[in-house]
Structures are given as structure tokens and as C-alpha cells.
Chain A
Amino acid sequence: MTGLVVDSLSFARGGRTILDGVSFAMQAGEMVALLGPNGAGKTTLLRLVLRLLRPRSGRVLLDGRAIAGMTRRVLATHLAYVPQGHGVVFPYRVRDVVALGRLAGGAMLAPVVPAADREAAAEAMARLAIGHLADRSYAALSGGERQAVLIARALAQGARLLVLDEPETGLDYGQQQRLSGLLRGLAGEGYGILATTHDPLRAARNFSRAILMREGRLVADGPAAEMLSAQAIAGLYGFTAVSAPPA
């Protein structure tokens, strides 16, 4: 079981505090949505959890171990990152991209992709029903297909905690529904899901828990359906709710 502990994390850049004493803990099987207006520090928090930034103070623990002391490779076997579907200059095939998830767990210096890694990649692609894309060029895929490929890569990585950066960006309604179903299924299997999102309604419906952030601070943390009342959302994003929520 993978448990993530974020312990009074602060971050500053150029004298400006971007994250100020954020703490929370999450267990395997939890689906945590990270919400807040632009500039609230959501992405900074994700990057600190992934150790892509160094905190000014505070620490991040995985299974009780500080990530600051882990090698990249060990960290990658615990924690997988699903970025927004992006372009790549060189025309890698989908199966090559997914197999990169196996780097950390396998032979980094192998001149060819080992057979076991190819199988693990095929399994992950089957899991996301993208087996038919295996030989397509990743660069030629649509946004939704790229997202699926990057999630398959995260599964191939073998990490039990997935960190997603605004996963529904650029997806159409159907794709968003499928993504939500997939993430719920993974959480049911014991994966921990931590995702930033801009969609409170979707978060309320699909995530088990919501963390609300504003101006670098954690302002609320609790069950998603309760946290994301119309009033709370209006308060968080700084607008007046048009109609009062039903009592």
C-alpha cells in the first residue's frame, strides 16, 4: 500500500511565496482532486510531490520515506506522472512511448526494449483499449488518444500512485466520461490518484476527496461531494453564486 504524506510544504520563487505550509496525507485507493483558481499553487504542489522542484521547507514522504533521499529510479517505481497530452518532435510509435514506462523498473542501458517490457507495455495498452494504436505515430494522435497513451505508460511504470496534471484538458465530453470511469476503476484496484482539475462538478461526481487551494494555502480538505457546494466553489473562485444551493 502506498501512502503519500505532504508535510508543511512551502515554496518560493524570486522572494514571492508560491506555496505556504501545505500539509495533507492520502492513502492507496483514494482519488484526490486538487482545485483552486489559477495561481493557487496546484501545479507547484504537483511538481514538488514529483520532486521536479525543491521545497523551501517541508517534505514529501512515500510509505514513510522522504522522497528527497530517493534516486529518480526508485521514485519512478512508486510515483508516475501523467502530463497533459503534448507533442513530441520525433515520430515515436505508441508502443515505444508506453514502453518508456518500463525504463525505471528494468534495464536502463539495454540497447533494445527487453521482451518483458514489451509485454508489460502491451498489457497496459490493452488495459486502456488502445492496442489498435500501438503502431501509430504518437505525434499524429488526437489529444484524447495521447492522454490514454500517457496513462498506459504510467500503468506500465508499475507505480501505485498516479499524479495527473489537468487530465481532462482538451478532451470531449465522451472522452472525459471514459477517463473518469477509468480513474475510478484504478482507484478501486488500490491505485492512489492525485489530479489537478478545473472542473468542480466533475470532481464532485468522480473523486472521493477534494483539496481546495487558494493563494498558496490549503483552504479546505474533505469528501469531494461535501466540499464542492455551489457556495464553496463561488467562495474559492471569488464570484457570487447566482442561486442559493438547495438547503
Chain B
Amino acid sequence: MTAWRERALWAVALGSLLLLMVVSLWLGRYQVPLGDLVGVLVGRDGGMPEERRALLHSIVLGTRLPRIAGAVVVGGALSVSGAGFQAVFRNPLVSPGLLGVLAGAGFGAALGIVAGASPMGMHLLSFAGGAVAVAVAVGVARLFDAASMLMLVFSGLVSTALFTALLSLLKYVADPDRQLPDIVFWLLGSLTQVTGADLGMMAVPVAIGIGVLTLCGRMLDALAMGDDEARTLGVPVGVLRYGVIAAATVLSAVTVSVAGMIGWIGLIVPHVARLLAGPCNARVLPLSACLGGAFLLVCDDLARCVSVEEIPVGLIADLLGVVVFLGVLRLIRRGWVE
């Protein structure tokens, strides 16, 4: 890709994301005139009556903005996480849930609901659940054969099965009137509960995770050639593999702790990024963040605008993901780069 094409690609990607965010602020049940919206956003709303100004601020900045920012951050984090897992496992079919992080985080959140934890406690339990599940997978793999990637995939299956079973146990013992519906809705994935405080909590780990993975981009390209070759090219393979798994796990676990189970866009979005920018990870990872954010934002707009009753965004993301993935498969069949 020439430097000019690369700059154009980034300009279009970032520009579309920004435009999409402004449009999303405007969309919603309560009609905000475009002029008023811009006024609120750029701080030129002094001419409005005080009451209307407060209402618009509450709708646009208090309700819509955190949710929109949440969609972008969650979608971006999940997509980068998926791209990282795909690079480490040299396999384009891998999704962020491979090592059990989604199952573990889902279990943690359900535990929080059953135990009646505070919102903050739920975030922490969910995050911890995801981290523990991946630690279990890595630990089991190291117990048998630390060097084998296939063993790591199998132990990921073990960990996923374990935490899925534990989650079922929690569903079984949960109060069917109060707790069970909460668990089910949590697992469907939703951005309705995202607050400014949540965003503040997510921002640092997500920014660090995306940054670390992007910096590892060229080493991950070397890893694509195989472990031995990467070693002879000077790459510390063990440190890289576990470092990337840790960063990708943090990214995924954070998203579940805030937005519930929105899994498989992490598998699809990196494919779209590769179609646009080629396979080099230093480009695929940040572009996945941008595209994933835009994709989940579109899903969330549909979730809140398609019907009067809100539809869980995880459900929309799954459905829309199917359509996008079919398109990707068609293009991949025709060849990736040439």
C-alpha cells in the first residue's frame, strides 16, 4: 500500500467514525433539531431557554453521548482483541472467546447478579472472571505442553466448558423472578447501562491494550511465519505470545464487564480490516479498533431506533455480523491482496 493510499484510508475510516458518532447523537426517539444539536456540541447554546437547554444537555450529553462512546470503545476493544488472538494463533477463524475470556467474564457478571453486588462490584467480578478463565486455560496448557499451540487451544476449550457450566449452575440457582432475567439480559449484551463513570474506568485499560498490541504489530507479522522462524528473526516468542494474550484478554474482559456478551464481531472486523489494509498487524490492529467501533455503533443505533422496544445490541451485532461476514467470505474467495 502506498503512503498516499494509506493516508486516504485512515482519513476515510476516522472521518466516517466521527460522522457516524454525530449522526448517532442526533438519532433517537426525542427529535433534536440539527442546529440545536450542533449548538449543544460546540457550546453555542446560550440563546436557548434555560429549561430547553437543560433538557437537550441531559438527552444529548447525559444519555446519548456515554452510550455512543461506549459502543465505539466496546466495539473497538473487542475487534482489536480478536485481531490480536488471530495473530497469536496464526488462525483467521479465532474469536476473542478462544481461551475462555467471554465465558469467564459472563460467569463473573452472573455471580455479581446472584450475590447482589454493586455495579462497580459487578464490573470487577466480571473482569476477574475473564482473567481467571484465561489463566486456567494457560495454566492447563503449561501443565501438559507449554510449547504447543494446539494444547493451548484445547485448554481454552476446557476453560470455556468449565465456565459455561458454572454459568449454567448460577442460572439454575438464581431467583427465577428477580435474578434470572437480569442474567439473561446481561448475556444478550446491552449498552443501555453505560455511564460516564464506566467510560472513565474503561478508557485507560483499553487505550493501553490497543497501544501495546499495535506496537507489537511487526513482531506479530514475524510470528505469522511460525514460532521457530520468528525466533531466528530475533523475536522473543514466549514473551510476545503471553503478552499479547494478556493484553487481548484485558480488552475482551473489559467489554463484557461493561456491556455484556457481544462476542463475534471480534472475529469479523479484523477480516474487514485486512481486506482494506493488507495483513500487516501494525495497520490491521488500529484499523480494527476504528472499524469495530463504527460497526458496534451502527448496531446500537439500530438497537435503539428500529422499534419502540429496545432490542439487545448483542443480538443485532450477531445478525448484522452474519451479513458482513458473508460479504467478507465472498471477497476472500476472490483473493485477498491481488
Contact = CB atoms under 8 A, between A and B. Distances in A.
B226 A86 contact: yes
Contacts of A86: 225-226
Contacts, number: 97
B205 interface: no
Contacts of B219: 103, 108-109
Nearest to A77: B234
Nearest to B232: A81
A52 B280 CA distance: 25
Interface in A130-172: 136-137, 140, 157
Contacts of A50: 228, 231-232
* Majority SS at the chain A contact face: loop
A72 B224 contact: no
A138 to B, nearest CB: 9
Interface centre among B226, B233, B278, B337 (most CB of A within 10 A): B233
Interface in B203-229: 214-219, 221-222, 224-226, 228-229
Interface string A103-117: 110001111110000
Given A52-B228, A86-B226, A100 B337 contact: no
Interface stretch (A19-27, A28-36, A89-97, A216-224): A89-97
B233 A76 contact: yes
B218 A108 contact: yes
B278 A100 contact: no
Interface centre among B214, B219, B224 (most CB of A within 10 A): B224
Interface residues of A, number: 37
Interface residues of B, number: 32
A90 B89 CA distance: 12
23 contacts: A47-B228, A50-B232, A52-B228, A72-B231, A72-B235, A76-B234, A79-B232, A80-B232, A81-B228, A83-B228, A83-B229, A86-B225, A86-B226, A90-B90, A90-B274, A92-B280, A100-B218, A103-B219, A103-B235, A109-B215, A111-B214, A111-B215, A113-B218
Interface of B: 90-92, 214-219, 221-222, 224-226, 228-229, 231-236, 274, 278-280, 282, 286, 335-338
In the A-B complex, the 5 residue pairs with the closest CB atoms: A104-B234, A76-B234, A81-B232, A90-B279, A91-B336
Interface of A: 47, 50-52, 71-73, 75-77, 79-81, 83, 86, 88-93, 96-97, 100-101, 103-104, 108-113, 136-137, 140, 157
